[in-house]
Amino acid sequence: MINWDQKRYFPCRPADPEGVWRIVHGSIVILVAGTPEGPSPHWIAHANDVINSIDRHCTTAMKYLDAFVDRQRIAAGSTWIIMSAEFGPIELGQANARFVLNFQLDGDEYGLWSVAFKSTGLPEPHDVGPSRIQRQQI
């Protein structure tokens, strides 16, 4: 379970009523959509559920990344490192995602790799699945 006592709010844009709440859980940064009054209760509940089974979701995300990333060309032999998890419509274009896991790859110091998970319509543990990858320069 995530300890939400140490959360911190970051507004996205000055005129936007929504922002992001940030908490560090172990080595993972968790970002949850919300307002200055607090993070969304819906996304907090979802974050707690996902973090309770984070190993399963990370394994799924890493297999998905390996299916698309040519590891002979990009950081061959290195491992994916989970950096953060995002819950809620934090980024434009992520609105339909249930959550996004962000990874770095040893040997690709300036890249942040993201895997968005969407609902599959199946019962647990297959109720969500990877739907998109993205790489951005950091």
Q: What are phi and psi of 113, to 5 degrees?
A: -105, 130
In this prediction, residue 92 carries a pLDDT of 43
**Reported pTM:** 0.89
Domain coverage including residue 82: 4-137
Helix axes 54-68, 41-52, angle to 10 degrees: 80
Whole-angstrom distance, CA of residue 44 vs CA of residue 34: 10
- Mean pLDDT, residues 130-137 taken together: 91
Task: Report pLDDT digits (tens) over 51-108.
Answer: 999 999 999 999 999 999 887 888 777 889 999 999 987 554 455 678 999 999 888 8
For the chain, give the number of residues: 138
CA-to-CA distance for 117 and 107, rounded, in angstroms?
A: 25
Q: Is the pLDDT of residue 115 over 60?
A: yes
Question: For the chain, what is the domain count?
Answer: 1
